[in-house]
Structure 1
């Protein structure tokens, strides 16, 4: 405790010596007779600065930040809706492919049952008919797959174009988007098209 008092007294005496030396050496800001005017101008300057910042500048910045935030949230909602729409279209496509495969399998099974019930002499004719039915069913499946892929690509191009146009606010080149979508559909073709 005594050491603390000792160091404080040394510090304050040093400070008063420095103030006296500064006053005599030509530093008027350390002269106590100017302190009241300095405090007045300091308070006035920072008061005006505070008022200008709080009444004019900060509200504008806050308003800009709020409008930016709301625009970003709207863009995120729009992107989420577009993503959900694309996923729904993809599920529809997968259901169409699954139904087509089941129909083809049913047609094949029905044709096989007919063939087993027929007379041995007509077996060759029936086998030929079964093969034709299988080929037709496979062609229908391929037609559905190729048509569905084009429709999905078109939907993806349109959706991406609208979404990018909404996000950046500028017209977008559809050929670039088309090339990207085609590339992505080729990469994931095995997954969705069963190739």
Structure 2
């Protein structure tokens, strides 16, 4: 899968918070706050903390954003048929128990719209989830297919995984992607950070 680059921990406090919620695989990718979204590292830290508390509306508001009314979701038990590449081959060998996917958008006051795709993939064992995360985190290995933009009445959105985050909790692996719906002022580092917030979305 294509993965975001230049990802670093935004703040020590977030590393400590995530350490309490994730295992030794590491947690959500956390890019450096910057750029077009005009959000600071402190704002991203507050956003992640709100997500960890189970308050997504508050989390997006910390970044000056709001989730739009439209969203799409789907549950599947045949994960392999909704993936491709090495990820698909792995899921054929080691089937998941269930996969939940959601696609939604968030808007900011500047008129920018970001499409966000999150997938929760649950396995029978932590070891299976760990290996899935390792493969999915690796560049060029394929991915779980996000729900298409047409489900939200949006133009085709290229969710290539460039702005990507993942985490694991036991037998559950969560992956998230973010992409601007139309070319605008949001830079790559900002979108990396958005994925790092989205991967903490309560399930």
Same fold (TM over 0.5): no
User: RCO (CA 8 Å, sep 6+): is it higher in 1 or 2?
Assistant: 2
> Could you say which TM-score interval applies, normalised by the shorter chain?
under 0.3
Query: Highest CA radius of gyration, 1 or 2?
Result: 1
Q: Which structure's residues are more often strand, by fraction?
A: 2
| TM-score scaled by length of structure 1 | 0.22
